[in-house]
Structure 1
Amino acid sequence: MTYTSGPHTGDKCTWANSCAGSASSVHDGDHLLVWDNAGDGHSVVLEYERSDVGGSDYTRDWNHYGEYAKLDVNMNIPEDGWITYRVCLGEYGSRQVLRDTCSSFFWESRGLIAAP
């Protein structure tokens, strides 16, 4: 985890609170970066599903480190894989996702994530 000097508008933003949380994909290395852009007491949640991980529930990674913190999630997706993800706000202690704050889902194939 690293800190930035201010808010970051990612590829996807939460619906509520003017992009209080955001996420961006980094093509080189298959990383998803998740920012907390507001000191509002909420955590930022990355919900995702991957082609190489089975199951019926979305995986969740929580950025609960506070305002302007960045969470780096290393995806390491197979060459022929895909991911679909969205960013939401939530309550880290109870692991409750605030559904009305979630962005729409964003889908990417490994071929699009790969570095040129």
Structure 2
Amino acid sequence: MGTKTKHLKVFFAALVAGITVSASALAAVDLFVAGGGGSARFLRKGEHLYVFDQASDGHSAVAEYWWDGDAYMSYLWASGYGVNSHRNFSKPESARIHIRACLGEAGTGRIIERTCSERRHIRAGDVN
């Protein structure tokens, strides 16, 4: 298991337990966005996207994302308090992903716009 993977697992476990996370664990995440009771994290190395449902509020957390050149947005849902969903991509280092975190209804695919974070972007690829 790589160092970033270990740090991310510690980070998610701490969120579930409500524990403050150390700066070194957060440093493993290259991009972090939070919206409502959900958050999304992107790790450049290996192009990993995670979405985490952090609130017991009856809504699902969702990461709305698209890569430069995509014709449409895609979604990664975490349905249920404490649920973490993951997607692994295989993209060239020059590829750029745009992400925002929201709450929504996984069953209908409806996004609750007022809960969404601002859109952030980052390039894929290894970090030296």
Corresponding letter in the other structure for 2:115: T
Q: Pick from 105, 122, 128: which aligns with 1:91?
A: 105
Determine the structure 1 residue equivalent to 2:77.
Answer: 62
Q: CA deviation at 1:114?
A: 1.9
Please point out which of 93, 98, 101 is paired with 1:79. 93
- CA distances 1:43-76 after superposition (whole Å, capped 9, x unpaired): 1111111025x31x31112111x11111111122
Paired with 2:75 and 2:50, the residues of 1 have a C-alpha distance of: 13
Give the percent of matched residue pairs that are identical in Structure 1 and Structure 2.
29
The structure with higher relative contact order (CA 8 Å, sep 6+) is 1
Alpha-carbon distance in structure 2 between the residues aligned to 1:4 and 1:26: 17
Match of 2:57 among 40, 57, 67: 40
Q: Which has the higher helix share?
A: 2
Residue 13 of structure 2 aligns with which residue? 4
How far the C-alpha of 1:36 sits from its partner, in A, is 0.5
3-state DSSP of counterpart to 1:100? helix
Give the drift of 1:42. Answer: 0.4
Q: What SS does structure 1 have at the residue aligned with 2:114?
A: helix
Matched, 1:114 2:111: no
How large is the RMSD of aligned CA atoms in angstroms?
A: 2.3
Residues 1:22 and 2:39 aligned together: yes
Q: Deviations over 1:49-107 (max 9, x none)?
A: 1025x31x31112111x111111111222122111110100011111000110000001
Which structure shows the bigger proportion of residues in strand conformation?
Answer: 1
* TM-score, with structure 2 as normaliser: 0.72
What's the CA shift string for 1:5-31, capped at 9, x where partnerless?
A: 5158981110x3xxx100111232110
How many residues of Structure 1 are paired with residues of Structure 2 in the alignment? Answer: 106
Q: Is the 8 A contact 1:4 1:68 kept in 2?
A: no
Q: Is the contact between residue 44 and residue 123 of structure 2 (CA under 8 Å) also seen in structure 1?
A: no
